[in-house]
Amino acid sequence: QVLLRESGGGLVQAGGSLRLSCAASGLTFSTYAMGWFRQAPGKEREFVARINWSGGNTDYADSVKGRFTISRDNAKNTVYLQMASLKPEDTAVYYCAAKSLPSMSFNFWGQGTQVTVSS
């Protein structure tokens, strides 16, 4: 069973920072692209960031570009999302996801961690 477990969410003031972590098990971590998505109450899930198997390629949603940084530590089977300059509109449940090389979509998902940004 592939397991992705997020941690690091919480309550933070606008302008503050938070780092999310996602620990992976049940897969060969270094062969998977990893990503972060988020879903606010009453809204659809949206893409936040992704990183390829080696960490050499990253991609971000325009709404978080310049504020969020995705990284991975393959030795620890962990992907991170460093969030800075947080805004109330960043409030959402953040989900970690994994994608194998031949897959066209993310096929494994974590349970989510709540991030709440107060004004």
72-84: pLDDT as tens digits: 999 999 999 999 9
* Alpha-carbon gap, residue 115 to 20, rounded angstroms: 9
Strands 78-83 and 10-13: unpaired
Query: Residue 87: what pLDDT?
Result: 98
What's the angle, vertex CA 76, arms to CA 56 and CA 40, rounded to 5? 75
Which residues does the chain have with pLDDT short of 50?
A: none
- What is the token pair recorded at 94? 């953040």
Query: Residue 106: what pLDDT?
Result: 94
Query: Residue 30: what pLDDT?
Result: 84
In 3-state terms the chain splits into helix, strand, coil percentages (rounded to 5) of 10, 55, 40
Query: Residue 27: what pLDDT?
Result: 83
Residues 84, 68 contacting (CB under 8 angstroms)? yes
Query: Residue 72: what pLDDT?
Result: 95
